[in-house]
Amino acid sequence: MAAQIIDGKQIAAQMREELKQKVAALKAKGVTPGLAVVLVGDDPASKSYVTAKEKACEEIGIYSSDNRIPATTTQNELLAIIDTFNKDPKIHGILVQLPLPKHINEDAVLLAIDPKKDVDGFHPVNVGRMVVGQEAYLPCTPHGVIQLLMRSGVKLDGAEVVVVGRSNIVGKPVANMLIQKAPTGNATVTICHTRTKNLAEHVRRADIVIAAAGRPNTITAEMVKPGAVVIDVGVNRIDDASKKSGFRLVGDVDFEGVKEKASQITPVPGGVGPMTITMLLFNTVQSAEKTLSK
């Protein structure tokens, strides 16, 4: 029987509706959540991500400050902009779109963001808080994966999870969230990477597979246990002459093959993707809510 599709668009829309109500409640108390978005340079992919983030803010009533600055901006100039937003009470979240031009040190920039406004969850203070199980801004894509699992009724407690990929933005944090002693965790997690000896052997044991390798067809049907839940984080462009753009997007999972074996599966696009921006909105609203409890 074909797997049930985990519809990221629908789950994201539901979460955005919940957030819209929270924003309205905040506004009624005199607080408008504010997000500062900083884009250095004019990389087309970054531009479209930033535009999508700003549009999503607008849709649920978050104020967004749009800061598109030239690629020639110096590191000190960027740090000064961040400092202004750190001090600005109208701004509850700061997002610096990555990657940055080569002459700017990304670590220095991430460190400069006030951890209380670090809605991307990349500041080492937030990463550390997440690891030790304290309240933190959780990084958006992995947090989106957890929400997809929870809201699709997938049992995490005691589940065998295999995460394919160990990056700081997806693999490591999602694995970390899943091992926490919490209702959103309690799983037994294996992390695989390019030095893993027998990827298929690990994946075959998994009740839940999370693919974040950035390579098409990393996970094929023969690697998946019947009834497993498969979350595909990958976004890869492959040539497709039938498309006007000349390409189409695919994940890391052979969707057509795996959907015949899995119990639930995310599509690409329309799975994890819509959740990433939603979790950015979630963190920004959370930051604004904290100003009320001060």
Give the footprint of ligand NAP on this chain (CB under 6 A): 141, 164-167, 169-171, 192-196, 199, 212-215, 218, 233-236, 272-273, 276
Closest approach of Cβ 96 to ligand NAP, in Å?
A: 16
Closest approach of Cβ 129 to ligand NAP, in Å?
A: 21
Comparison of 45 and 132: residue with beta carbon closer to ligand NAP: 45
Q: Is 180 a catalytic residue?
A: no
Closest approach of Cβ 269 to ligand NAP, in Å?
A: 8
37: its two tokens: 């978005």
Closest approach of Cβ 245 to ligand NAP, in Å?
A: 17
Q: Is 120 a catalytic residue?
A: yes
- Residue 110 CA, chain-centre distance (Å), reads 17
Peptide bond into 269 cis (omega under 30): yes
Comparison of 116 and 257: residue with beta carbon closer to ligand NAP: 257
Q: Cα–Cα distance between 271 and 195 in angstroms, integer? A: 27
Q: Is 97 a catalytic residue?
A: yes
> Do strands 34-40 and 93-96 pair parallel, antiparallel, or not at all (unpaired)?
parallel
Question: Nearest Cα to 136, choosing from 176, 96, 105?
Answer: 176
273: its two tokens: 């993707």
Quickly count: other Cβ atoms within 10 Å of residue 103's Cβ. 10
Catalytic residue among 53, 117, 259, 261: 53
Cβ(7)–Cβ(147) below 8 Å:
no
Comparison of 262 and 272: residue with beta carbon closer to ligand NAP: 272
- Phi, psi of 208, rounded to the nearest 5 degrees: -130, 130
Comparison of 85 and 282: residue with beta carbon closer to ligand NAP: 282
Q: Cα–Cα distance between 249 and 238 in angstroms, integer? A: 6
Comparison of 75 and 167: residue with beta carbon closer to ligand NAP: 167
Q: Cα–Cα distance between 51 and 179 in angstroms, integer? A: 34
Closest approach of Cβ 88 to ligand NAP, in Å?
A: 27
Cβ(287)–Cβ(92) below 8 Å:
yes
Question: Helices 140-151 and 8-28, interaxial angle, to 10°?
Answer: 110
Catalytic residue among 120, 207, 232, 254: 120
Catalytic residues: 53, 97, 120
